[in-house]
Amino acid sequence: MKQLNQSSQKIMLAIQITKASLLICFFFILWYLLYEQNKLFLTGEQANNTETLTEVHLSSPSTLSSNITYNTITNNDSIENPLNELKELNKRYCGNPTCKFLFVYNFGEQETKANLHFRSFSQLAEKLNRTMILTNVGSSQISVCQNFSFNLYYNVTLLKKEFPNVLYKSEDDFILWLKERDQIKNKLNNINNNEVIPPLSILHSNLRRYDITSETIYRNVKPVVSLSECLSKFGPFMNLTDPNNSRVKYTIMDITKFDLKTEQSRAKFSKLLIDDLSVNEEILLVNSYVLDPLFPVIMPVIPYNDYILNEAQKLKEKLSSSYIGIHWRLEQSRPELLPECAQGLIITLNKIMKEEGIENIYLATDYPLLSSSSQSDTFTKITNYHHDAIRMLNETFKINTWVSLGGLEQLRRNEKYDTEFIGPGIQGILDKLVCVNSNYFIAGPKGCSRILSTFTKAIADERSNRLDSGLLNVIDRWKIPL
């Protein structure tokens, strides 16, 4: 379709050319000179490969090129085709004459799960040969609604090592590409009074596992009117409701949990996914809520950046490198059971301290430590049972937390990150790392804690990989006293 347009545009060009007057010869020479200049400028920028690209103000050739262009320089692609400028732009950003992006703008769920989903979609980006956008992070999510760049949480260098075949670009880079494409489009389309460069082509797809169908279904849908407000930050350069800006197709995939359950089912499902999403659109815009891995192979956790790793190391040193890590997620506990839960924890701690000779304890919890709001989005109803349980523990032992040990101080002092410390955020990653590093790790039993916590499981998985480095256990759950 796009190619058809391009060739019909060439024909139009030729028709216009035949009508061209002698005057045009003069303009052609002018244009040629300007063009050469621009090319030099672009090559200089190209070498830089950074984000100064908006600074390129291409001076517009003032009229259409003449038949001379067409006749004399046909065999030189970089002159013949006005689309060349777009190709150059794309080469700079995507290493290819066409840019194809995979922009999953919402990964759903909190960091531990979002981390998994980001890996799944990196695998998809590789299969689809698409440049993947590093969606913003914040509040323990990976989402376009967040305000911090991906590298606040993650080490992009190590991510690229994990996925060497995937090209990654930040949201900022993406905006620069949109902007430049828009400039080129306006310029060339105005000169030719013609649609030389088409609007952005976008496929917007909702991939979701709500289990509302008994088999996975992929279908076209009418334009989604209630798109995330946060996408408007790409306006006016990407505006899904402006037909002059973009042509958008909308689809939904309803995925069943059975398709994602086993390695075999995912092998089958992922083929279907790749087929369905092998499209020509420049931008594949995905809103994801998939809950499970999409591919048979599950890639290792995206490494966190040095800042967080160093903070975890600092806390470990403050605990004399000897501590019991406790993960107590009070959400989904039965509040009336909490006094007994606290009692059970105290008994267990006393036992481990005595048997293993460990004196320090570190508590990772969704109980509010800094403000009155909990460190989990979904945990909102905090009762006196919760307060009493934590108080009981606090009266028995010195409880160390990321707050009491002064973790993440540098960020906390910077008001830019204020929102990050209201509710869940980067401190969840720190808690996770401190628990991974603990000599002994315990988590709450059923009734006291959310038992199917992927956060707890992630800690246990990581610890089982490190058992040979002197950890005393992988994970134990304390008991409610009878």
199 lies in the binding site for ligand NAG (CB under 6 A): no
392 lies in the binding site for ligand NAG (CB under 6 A): no
Q: Which of 5, 60, 96, 236 binds ligand NAG (CB under 6 A)?
A: 236
48 lies in the binding site for ligand NAG (CB under 6 A): yes
Q: How far is CA 194 from CA 5, 66, 109, 334, in A?
A: 11, 16, 45, 67
241 lies in the binding site for ligand NAG (CB under 6 A): yes
CB pairs under 8 A, 24+ apart, for 157-166? 158/302, 158/303, 159/122, 159/302, 159/303, 162/119, 162/122, 162/299, 162/300, 162/302, 162/303, 163/122, 163/123, 163/125, 163/126, 163/299, 165/126, 166/122, 166/125, 166/126, 166/131, 166/132
306 lies in the binding site for ligand NAG (CB under 6 A): yes
Q: Which of 211, 242, 317, 336 binds ligand NAG (CB under 6 A)?
A: 242
Q: Which stretch binds ligand NAG (CB under 6 A): 67-75, 168-176, 324-332, 438-446?
A: 67-75
Q: Which is nearer to ligand NAG, 116 or 308 (CB)?
A: 308
399 lies in the binding site for ligand NAG (CB under 6 A): yes
Residue of 260, 253, 248, 254 lying closest to 284 (CA atoms):
248
Q: How many residues bind ligand NAG (CB under 6 A)?
A: 40
Rounded to 10 degrees, the C-alpha dihedral 215/218/220/226 comes to 80
Q: Which of 4, 11, 15, 47 binds ligand NAG (CB under 6 A)?
A: 47
Q: Which of 108, 138, 325, 407 binds ligand NAG (CB under 6 A)?
A: 138
Q: Copy the structure tokens of residue 158.
A: 């190590």
Q: Copy the structure tokens of residue 398.
A: 């010195």
Of 270-289, binders to ligand NAG (CB under 6 A) are 278
Q: Which of 76, 321, 350, 465 binds ligand NAG (CB under 6 A)?
A: 76
Amino acid letter, residue 188: L
- State phi, psi for 273 to the nearest 5 degrees: -60, -45
360, β-bridge pairs: 323
Task: Say if CB 38 and CB 59 are below 8 A apart.
Answer: yes
Q: Which stretch binds ligand NAG (CB under 6 A): 238-246, 248-256, 279-287, 315-323?
A: 238-246
Amino acid letter, residue 271: K
Of 361-380, binders to ligand NAG (CB under 6 A) are 369
Q: CB of 257: closest distance to ligand NAG in angstroms? A: 27
Q: How many residues does the chain have?
A: 482
Helix axes 171-192, 2-18, angle to 10 degrees: 30
Determine how many CB atoms are found less than 10 A away from the CB of residue 385: 18
Residue of 284, 358, 288 lying closest to 325 (CA atoms):
358
Q: CB of 155: closest distance to ligand NAG in angstroms? A: 4
- HSE-CB at 287 with a 13 A cutoff on CA atoms is 15
471 lies in the binding site for ligand NAG (CB under 6 A): no
Q: In terms of DSSP bridges, do strands 131-134 and 168-170 run parallel, antiparallel, or are they unpaired?
A: parallel
419 lies in the binding site for ligand NAG (CB under 6 A): yes
Q: Which is nearer to ligand NAG, 238 or 460 (CB)?
A: 238
146 lies in the binding site for ligand NAG (CB under 6 A): yes
52 lies in the binding site for ligand NAG (CB under 6 A): yes
Q: Which of 6, 63, 147, 454 binds ligand NAG (CB under 6 A)?
A: 147
Q: Which is nearer to ligand NAG, 18 or 220 (CB)?
A: 18
Q: Which of 129, 149, 194, 454 binds ligand NAG (CB under 6 A)?
A: 129
Residue of 247, 237, 235 lying closest to 199 (CA atoms):
247
Q: Which of 79, 137, 248, 315 binds ligand NAG (CB under 6 A)?
A: 79
Q: Which stretch binds ligand NAG (CB under 6 A): 153-161, 213-221, 315-323, 472-480?
A: 153-161
Determine how many CB atoms are found less than 10 A away from the CB of residue 418: 10
Q: Using CB under 6 A, list all residues that contact ligand NAG.
A: 18, 44-45, 47-48, 50, 52, 67-68, 71, 76-79, 128-129, 138-139, 145-147, 155, 157-158, 232, 235-236, 239, 241-242, 244, 278, 305-306, 369, 390, 394, 399, 401, 419
